[in-house]
Structures are given as C-alpha cells and as structure tokens.
Chains A and B, each alone.
Chain A
Amino acid sequence: MMPHLDARYLLCPMPVIRVSACVAGLSTGEVLTVRCTDRGALNDLPAWCRLEGHEVLQAEADSSGDVVLTILVHK
C-alpha cells in the first residue's frame, strides 16, 4: 500500500520535518502521498525534494483546500 502522511494542521517547517522522517524509512521507487493544510508546503516540500534528489510527481490544492503532494523517493 502506498504510504500516506497526514500533515494537516502542521505549520512550516513541521511538514518538511515529518516528510523527511517518513522518507528516511522508504526505499527508492516508493511513492509517498502527503496531505497538508499549510499552503507554504506547496513551496517548501518541492524545495526540500530538489535538495534531497526526490521527485515531486504532483503538488496541488484539492477541492477541500488541502495541499496534496506525491513524492517519488530517490536514494
């Protein structure tokens, strides 16, 4: 099952800290889905992924207003 991380109601930089911890336990090729309420995550998580070499497959706000990102892990 694809891993999911609920980072709703967390503010910058906690979504990045939680994603970083979650990705540490994943392997190359796994895809992590993250749900946030902090709009800043749309900038921060892709920036963190660029620095770490992971790939953001999707980053958008859904109809509920939550920000949802899918991240392909590269190690």
Chain B
Amino acid sequence: MENGKRKAIVLLSGGLDSMLAARLMLDQGIHVEGINFFTGFCVEGHTHAVREDRQKRNLRNSALHSAEQLGIRLHIVDVIDEYKDVVLNPRHGYGTHLNPCLDCKGFMVGKARAWMEQNGFDFIVTGEVLGQRPMSQRRDTFPVIARESGATDRLLRPLCARLLPETLPEREGWVDRERLLGLSGRSRKPQIALAAAYGFTYAQPAGGCCFLTDANYTHKLKDLWRSRGERRYDFDDIMLLKIGRHLRPRPHFKLIVGREAGENRFLEGYRNRFVHMWALDHNGPLVLLQGDANEADLDLAASITARFGQGRGALKVRVAVGRPGGPLGERDVKPLPAHALAAEWYL
C-alpha cells in the first residue's frame, strides 16, 4: 500500500469488460495498473498491420488504447514460451477448436498473481462476467481459476462480484461491494451503456481475441503438427500461419504464398530461414517453402509461384530460387494451369 492506496493489477485485454472493471476500481480510489499477456495467438491487429490493403485502418493495440483512456500504466508481457504448455497440454481440454480457454485464464491469472507478489500489489482484477463465455466464465469454473492460479480470494471480478462470494478486498473494506456490479449473461448491452457513460471508445466489445478459436488457423496448426509428426511449434511457426495462402502440394513440403505487397514484404524477413521463390520476369508473390523438397518438388513449387503471379498466362516464367546461405538459382517453368492446382492443397 502506497499513500494509503491499495493496489490492483488488472488483466487488460483491450476489450470493453476489462476496461470497465479497471474503471470501477479507479472510481473506488484504488491504484490500478494493467497487465496484458502476449501468447503469440492474439488477434491484435497482426494481419491488418501486414497487409497494405488494410493499412488505412487505424492500427493500434487495443490494450494500450484502453490504458490511455484509463490513464494507467500497462505492462505487456511476452509469455510465448511458457504458454506452449497451455496449448499443448491443457488440463481442462479444448473448446470448439484448439482454444484451451479455462487453462488459459488460469495461466494468465497465475502470471498476474506472481506479478502482484513481486511488485507489492494487493489484488488482481479481471473483467470476467458470469455466464458470458461457455468454458471459462461459469459459476463452476470461476473457483477453478481462482484455485489453480493461486490467486484464491485476492481475485476480484468487479463486473459480477455481487453474484459471487465475497473476496478479500471486499471483506477487508479495500473496495465497497455495494459499488460493484452484478452482471451476468452473454449480452453486453449494460457494458456498452456504461462505456458510453464513461465516454470510452473501443474497437470491439470483446477483447482478447485468439487465433486458437479460429477454424482456419487451427486447421493450419494441426497440419503443421501432422507434417512434423509431433505437436510442437515455435514463435515463427505461429506468426507465419497468420500470413499468406498456405498450400501443401506434397506431404513433405508446404508453400506460403504472399497475397499482396505487405505480406510479401513481411515474408522477406524469413528468406534466411527457408527456401524462397519469386518470378523474375513478372510481378508476383514471394513464396516460402517449408519442408524438404527434391528437384521435382522445386519445379512444382516454382510452377505454383508462377501461377500466382502476373505471368500465369505465359508459356514460360523464370523463377528465382533462394536458399538460406546458398547461391541464388533460377529455373524456367511453365505456370501451373488452374485445373492442376488441387483444391485439397489449400490449407
């Protein structure tokens, strides 16, 4: 406690609920700081920032925008490596796709608890609302999160606290339970009304969006694991799954094809990691090749590279082939005809 103020760390996702939860604490004179965990799967503006055709949008990190409106510090923490165990071995299983929502929330509250203890804070605040999410925001799962994170009764959920047992901050009188809320259910109408009263702006009501809830993304992640014969990933793997068209023409290699200039530019950053190709005599994509390719595979990959460029109607296209640390090669190929581009290659 500093200057007579109790201190709360708020899990600030960038969505409306956590911003309101933080504001309710500020209204009660609590010193509030925000914490935001970057798992590598956060939807946060990634592809928008890469694609040139989407750069006219106001690209900004939603959690930072929330913190600015609240006037609080925000700690953005890289948890990419630690988070792998949550994704690969969720104790409570997955939701519809590869989303380990309950384990994820327990992990994040646990990280916030450790941060709280290291930094002399008193309690943890989340924007959770009873009944809002099917896996992690239920009456029976709330205690699981509190217990498995180690936060126990130092975890306060101001938006629905009136519907839950008293927590330490309430019992000790650090916060007034009567000024907390009793929201429940999936509707966000009360939150939207409250945000309007506070004059908050936000990109979307729900924050913390996650690629692990996305069918297309998780299909590509499962394909990656299948092709490797094991469930593992690194940071670059999960970034690249967000960029470009992904095609697997053969079981032992995959192509990532830039869809426009912004994606091509992003993929350039990986030229020292993968075999890469582009057409020399026509405009077209940069293509990365992941896996092991023999000469016939390289010819096929080059013909696909030509297919996605402006030389697709030409009889012959010259394609540059770069290898990490190796000399630049060239090969002349016939662009793959549209009918030969098998639908099942697309991931």
Same complex:
yes
Residues of A whose CB lies within 8 Å of any CB of B are 8-9, 11-14, 16-17, 20, 37-40, 42-44, 47-48, 50-52, 65
Asked if B59 CB lies within 8 Å of chain A CBs, one says: yes
Asked if B65 CB lies within 8 Å of chain A CBs, one says: yes
Residues of B whose CB lies within 8 Å of any CB of A are 36, 38, 42, 44-46, 48-50, 55, 58-61, 63-65, 67-68, 72-74, 76-78, 239, 265-266, 268-270
Tell me the nearest residue of chain B to A53, going by C-beta: B73
Q: Which residues of A contact B42 (CB under 8 A)?
A: 13
| CB within 8 Å for A16 and B64 given contacts A9-B266, A37-B265, A51-B74 | yes
C-alpha gap A42/B255 in the complex (Å):
31
C-alpha gap A65/B59 in the complex (Å):
16
Interface Cβ pair total, 8 Å cutoff:
74
A51 B49 Cβ-Cβ under 8 A: no
Q: How far is the CB of B38 from chain A (nearest CB, A)?
A: 6
C-alpha gap A12/B44 in the complex (Å):
7
Q: Which residues of A contact B67 (CB under 8 A)?
A: 47, 51
Beyond known contacts A13-B44, A38-B50: 17 more, CB 8 A cutoff: A8-B269, A11-B45, A11-B239, A12-B46, A12-B49, A13-B38, A17-B77, A37-B269, A38-B49, A39-B55, A39-B59, A40-B49, A40-B61, A44-B61, A47-B61, A47-B65, A47-B67
C-alpha gap A52/B65 in the complex (Å):
14
A43 B58 Cβ-Cβ under 8 A: yes
A43 B38 Cβ-Cβ under 8 A: no
Can you list 5 pairs linking A and B with CB atoms under 8 Å apart?
A14-B38, A14-B78, A17-B78, A37-B269, A43-B59
Q: Which residues of B contact A16 (CB under 8 A)?
A: 61, 64, 76
Q: Which residues of B contact A40 (CB under 8 A)?
A: 45, 48-49, 59-61
| CB within 8 Å for A17 and B49 given contacts A12-B59, A51-B67, A65-B265 | no
Which of A9, A17, A65 is in CB contact (< 8 Å) with B269? A9
Q: Which residues of A contact B60 (CB under 8 A)?
A: 40, 43-44, 47
Q: How far is the CB of B98 from chain A (nearest CB, A)?
A: 20
Q: How far is the CB of A12 from chain B (nearest CB, A)?
A: 5
B64 A44 Cβ-Cβ under 8 A: yes
Q: Which residues of B contact A44 (CB under 8 A)?
A: 60-61, 64
Q: How far is the CB of A5 from chain B (nearest CB, A)?
A: 15
Tell me the nearest residue of chain A to B48, going by C-beta: A40
C-alpha gap A20/B97 in the complex (Å):
33
B73 A52 Cβ-Cβ under 8 A: yes
| CB within 8 Å for A12 and B61 given contacts A17-B38, A37-B265, A51-B67 | yes
Q: Which residues of A contact B268 (CB under 8 A)?
A: 9
Q: How far is the CB of B115 from chain A (nearest CB, A)?
A: 14
Tell me the nearest residue of chain B to A16, going by C-beta: B76
Tell me the nearest residue of chain A to B38, going by C-beta: A13
B78 A47 Cβ-Cβ under 8 A: no
B269 A47 Cβ-Cβ under 8 A: no
Q: Which residues of A contact B265 (CB under 8 A)?
A: 37, 65
Which of A17, A38, A51 is in CB contact (< 8 Å) with B68? A51
Q: Which residues of B contact A52 (CB under 8 A)?
A: 73
Q: Which residues of B contact A47 (CB under 8 A)?
A: 60-61, 64-65, 67-68
